[in-house]
Amino acid sequence: MRSIISAALLALGITAAHAQPVRIGFVTNESGIGAASGGPGTVFAARMAVADFGGSVLGRPIQLDDADFALKPDIASALARKWLDEGYDVIADVAMSAAALNIADMSKAAKKIYLATSPLTSDLTTTHCSPYTVHWGADSYVLSEAVPRAVMAAGGNSWYFITVDYTLGQSLERDSIAALTKLGGKSMGASRYPVGTTDYAQYLLAAQASGANVIALATASDMLVNNLKQAHEFGMPTKGQMIVAPLLQQSDIDALGVDSAQGLSSVQQFYWDESGSARAFAERYRAKMGTMPGNQQGDAYAAVTHYLNAVKAAGTTESDAVMAKMKATTADYFGKPATIRADGRLLTAVDVYAVKKPEEMKGKFDIFRKTGSLAAGDVYHPILEACQFK
């Protein structure tokens, strides 16, 4: 029977090896805190990339699977381990820094590519750098360089941090303090709280009493939204202290409302209205998902597209050959050129935005006004000698 099947495949011009799918596994957060900013939307954006590519590469179907790790690092690691053991070509996403660092190490050991499209820790290209990781989205170093530059230009030179006490928040606070010091600003202290906290009154009051002219919310998703809601209830935006939220995303504004978010500064590596190609992608996404894509969705679409282009150019899914093509080829990041550095860090221009006032908006999703743009060479962590992979 096996010989009959092989003969039939050969008659069609297809070898048994070529009949095997190219397999991409998305370890994603579909039910934990912050699922609204990633999860199902990120997977849908990645599937859009596969469909736009034609659904196959090198004569092989592209199989994209997703699984929910519910923001639990042990589940994320187990899912990635299962897929790596099954021979998947790529692991992707992982919207939790601690889990992402573990998966980067696992992918390195397995010599399989990891497309880090959602985690934000800069440790992915420093202490945990790998020849098989591409860190596609913005990271804590980028955020901490770009936002302080914009805010300090407006007079915000003393900061107090309200930080979620896990890898992401710690990285963002650490990198922001380093950037502030370099730019001549200073930290006035920090309050740290565990994941899942819902009452932030004591931390906001400590920030108010600190004398800092900037309150920096080093957190994301639901926790960020709740911080901002309570700050608005306390009337803090009108009491002389500027509030910055480096990780503010489209989905956060949807949950928060523009009235409570107007004027907030944030970094957006992707914004749906930044170019013609971004708008075209966003409108197709909105037709299915009911809202506009944010950073995680833009990064997932662009990363999967660039990976598949590299597979096609390399003529193989072998990780070293594909990674070499990814690093040698300029990616199209929705009209902006992007390159991948030797350590796997994606480099592209980074834009700083402020949330518009309601009267400035031309529609429900017209929420950001660009206030500045920084060249890639100004905001990314310098490459470490130990991370200069070929």
Convert the pLDDT of each residue in 102-144 to its tens digit: 999 999 999 999 999 999 888 999 999 999 999 998 888 888 8
Query: How far apart are alpha carbons 213 and 211 in whole angstroms?
Result: 6
Query: Would you state the torsion angle of the CA atoms of residues 110, 112, 118, 121, taken in this order, to the nearest 10 degrees?
Result: 50
Is residue 9 scored above 70 in pLDDT? no
Query: Would you state the torsion angle of the CA atoms of residues 296, 298, 301, 303, taken in this order, to the nearest 10 degrees?
Result: -80
Domain boundaries, the chain: 2-138+274-348, 141-268+350-379
pLDDT at 19: 66
pTM for the model: 0.86
Mean pLDDT of 339-360: 92
Tens of pLDDT, residue by residue over 192-251, are 999 889 999 999 999 999 999 999 999 888 889 999 989 888 887 767 788 888 888 888
Tens of pLDDT, residue by residue over 264-318, are 878 888 999 999 999 999 999 999 999 999 999 999 999 999 999 999 999 999 9
Mean pLDDT of 364-378: 86
Residues 6+ apart with CB under 8 A from 239: 208
Name the CATH code of domain 2-138+274-348 (choices 3.30.390.50, 3.50.50.60, 3.40.50.2300, 3.40.50.10860). Answer: 3.40.50.2300
Q: Which of the two residues, 48 and 151, has the higher pLDDT score?
A: 48
Quote the tokens at residue 299. 């990064």
Query: How far apart are alpha carbons 370 and 271 in whole angstroms?
Result: 10
Same fold, 2-138+274-348 and 141-268+350-379: yes
Class of domain 141-268+350-379: alpha beta
Mean pLDDT of 348-367: 89
- Average pLDDT for the chain: 89
